[in-house]
Amino acid sequence: MQLLRILQSQGFGVRRACRELIQTGRIQVNGVVVEDPDFECATAALTLTLDGQDWRYREKVYLALHKPAGFECSRQAQHHPSVFSLLPAPLGERGVQPVGRLDQDSSGLLLLSDDGDFIHRYTSPKKEVGKRYRVVCKHPVSDEQIAALLAGVQLRDEPAPLAARACTRVSENVIDLGIAEGKYHQVKRMLAAAGNRVEALCRTQVGGYALPADLAPKQWRYLEEEDLARLAEAA
């Protein structure tokens, strides 16, 4: 593939901008400066370097972001910063999208990708991909409330009760909750239907992939093959 096309595919800008990057000697291909936009590259094991920063060629990208509260999952954020402000520009330019959403006041694991099939796989309600949340409640969580969540609670505009896949008490006001549907404000609505209120919400797992303990808020990382395999385990 031509180097110019590769740069475009990896989010380095429009055709004219990428051509200028190459012709001004700012791009290295596997450690060697290349100034010919038509230079043919094999994409396997290809590493591009721009201004000293390495970028491994990826046909599609899969990311895990530790979203903090106070960020919106939108490119046109209205009242808070966008989660895209936490990513390097090339990732945003190549069109990564959130795989599902987290409200601005929620935190935790947010997946992003530019692979449409992947996004559909992990957002379609029909796929019933499990998600787990650490939920801080306003009031102590009673045994009756846990039983109600596991049995199923009726939400407005839903034809049938929704039941948690799992619900365990962490402390008096904190539970770990597992769901499959991922409907609008589902966890908050389920807790309200059970007679409590969500004060803080953190998504800790999607499918079989858990939020890494060493991924601090605002940090992100690529999902590699082993991560994608883990993600699919409980999907």
Active site residues: 103
For residues 125 and 159, give the distance between their C-alpha atoms in angstroms, rounded to a whole number.
15
C-alpha 230, offset from chain centre: 15
Count Cβ atoms below 10 Å from residue 191 Cβ, excluding itself: 25
Q: Which two tokens stand for residue 12?
A: 């380095």
What value, to the nearest 5°, has the Cα angle with vertex 234 and ends 104 and 64? 40
3-state percent breakdown (helix, strand, coil) of the chain, nearest 5: 25, 30, 45
Q: List 175's β-bridge partners, or say none.
A: 135, 169
Q: Which two tokens stand for residue 137?
A: 């409640």
Residues 36 and 73: beta-carbon distance below 8 Å: no
At 78 the three-state DSSP class reads coil
